[in-house]
């Protein structure tokens, strides 16, 4: 049971990281392309707060989900050891 949950957490954290990293690169690449091609200061002023908000969400998701997943895996191993499931090494 614990192995299934740990495998699920590993897959979710990897998918969240790669999705966030990919979307981060796409969003920022599109923004840089739009800013360079248009050379409009108004476009930069208008879209920078939205771009920063999107970057903050993507960075939080890309780094927070794997961190929480790792903490949950440590907790699962601790509970398994506590209730007689054996002290399996943390991977």
* Residues 80/86, Cβ–Cβ less than 8 Å: yes
How many other CB atoms are there within 10 angstroms of residue 54's CB atom?
16
pLDDT tens profile 6-62: 899 999 999 999 999 999 999 999 999 999 999 888 988 999 999 999 999 999 999
What is the distance between the alpha carbons of residues 45 and 86, in angstroms, rounded to a whole number? Answer: 57
Name the average pLDDT for the chain.
90
Q: What is the pTM of this model?
A: 0.78
């Amino acid at each position: 049971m614990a192995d299934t949950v740990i495998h699920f957490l590993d897959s979710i954290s990897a998918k969240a990281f790669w999705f966030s990293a990919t979307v981060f690169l796409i969003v920022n690449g599109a923004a840089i392309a739009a800013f360079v091609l248009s050379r409009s200061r108004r476009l930069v002023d208008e879209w920078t707060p939205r771009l920063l908000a999107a970057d903050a969400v993507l960075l939080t998701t890309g780094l927070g989900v794997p961190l929480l997943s790792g903490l949950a895996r440590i907790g699962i191993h601790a509970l398994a050891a506590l209730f007689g499931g054996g002290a399996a090494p943390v991977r």
